[in-house]
């Protein structure tokens, strides 16, 4: 019996991934209205907007990027720099109360990221998520 217990204990220790003390779950919220270079509010509403009598508008793409290696400019087509990997992709309007009158906001959750800094990358032309992650 003791041998079985020790074997099981060793298997658990060797097979189970060890939690990285630096990994934390992060919730993010864009609390200020996001505007483009022409000072126009970026479009987007919650997917739940029709349930409240409001119109659903597909939002501008928002990417939360890993900036632990520094902040590097994206490619000319909007693809993030290789050193700034995408941690989360969402859209303006996601995670926001559809009854709020203030547009141009978003919120969400990123699970298990490094405690290092991150940066957001917001697209005003609404590319498809697959294009932005390519």
pLDDT(133) > 80: no
130 by DSSP, 3-state: which? helix
The pLDDT of residue 81 is 92
pTM of the model: 0.63
* Three-class secondary structure assignment of 98-129: CCCCCCCCEEEEEEEEECCCEEEEECCCCCCH
User: What would the pLDDT profile of 13-68 be if each residue is shown by its tens digit?
Assistant: 344 444 444 667 778 888 899 998 999 999 999 999 999 998 899 999 988 888 88
**Strand pairing category for 61-66 and 118-122:** antiparallel
Average pLDDT over the chain, rounded to whole?
75
Phi and psi at residue 100, to the nearest 5°: -70, 140
Summarize the confidence of residues 68-88 as an average pLDDT: 88
The pLDDT of residue 3 is 43
Check if the beta carbon of residue 91 is closer than 8 Å to that of residue 33: no
Position with higher pLDDT, 112 vs 105: 105
Q: What six digits make up the tokens of 129? A: 């998520």
């Amino acid at each position: 019996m003791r041998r079985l217990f020790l074997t099981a204990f060793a298997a658990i220790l060797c097979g189970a991934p060890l939690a990285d003390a630096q990994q934390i779950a992060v919730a993010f919220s864009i609390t200020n209205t996001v505007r483009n270079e022409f000072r126009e509010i970026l479009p987007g509403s919650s997917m739940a907007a029709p349930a409240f009598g409001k119109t659903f508008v597909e939002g501008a793409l928002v990417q939360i990027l890993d900036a632990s290696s520094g902040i590097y400019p994206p490619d000319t087509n909007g693809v993030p720099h290789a050193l700034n990997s995408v941690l989360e992709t969402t859209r303006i309007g996601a995670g926001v109360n559809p009854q709020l009158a203030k547009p141009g906001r978003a919120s969400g959750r990123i699970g298990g990221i490094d405690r290092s800094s991150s940066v957001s990358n917001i697209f005003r032309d609404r590319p498809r998520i697959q294009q932005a992650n390519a």
